[in-house]
Amino acid sequence: MRYLKNVVTLQLNEAVCIGCGRCVEVCPHAVFHIHNRRAAIVERDACMECGACARNCPVDAVTVNAGVGCVTGLINRALGRKGDCCCTADSCC
């Protein structure tokens, strides 16, 4: 299944990349590939902005506005309610 096109905030600074391959390892949607000893984004629209790549990049070559894509959570936040996801005191996604 594919989600919306051209919306994700994922950015890769290839000049800084050292080709360690951590981003390939942690990405649950195979967004990255190692090409000529550098990471490359090959499936940008598959990105779900979980932030695993950016968190694990030792040279900060990857940036993304990570967050949970959850309507309930975003509505809660907009209404100033607690819980940035659908998680309330008794339930969590």
Min separation Cβ 15 and other proteins, Å: 19
> How many CA atoms does the CB half-sphere of 39 hold within 13 Å?
30
> d(Cα 85, Cα 93) in Å, to the nearest integer?
8
Min separation Cβ 34 and other proteins, Å: 13
Which amino acid would we find at residue 53? C
> d(Cα 63, Cα 36) in Å, to the nearest integer?
21
Min separation Cβ 14 and other proteins, Å: 19
List contacts with other proteins (CB under 8 A): 1-5, 7-9, 22, 25-30, 46-52, 55-56, 58, 65-75, 84-87, 89-93
Comparison of 6 and 36: residue with beta carbon closer to other proteins? 6
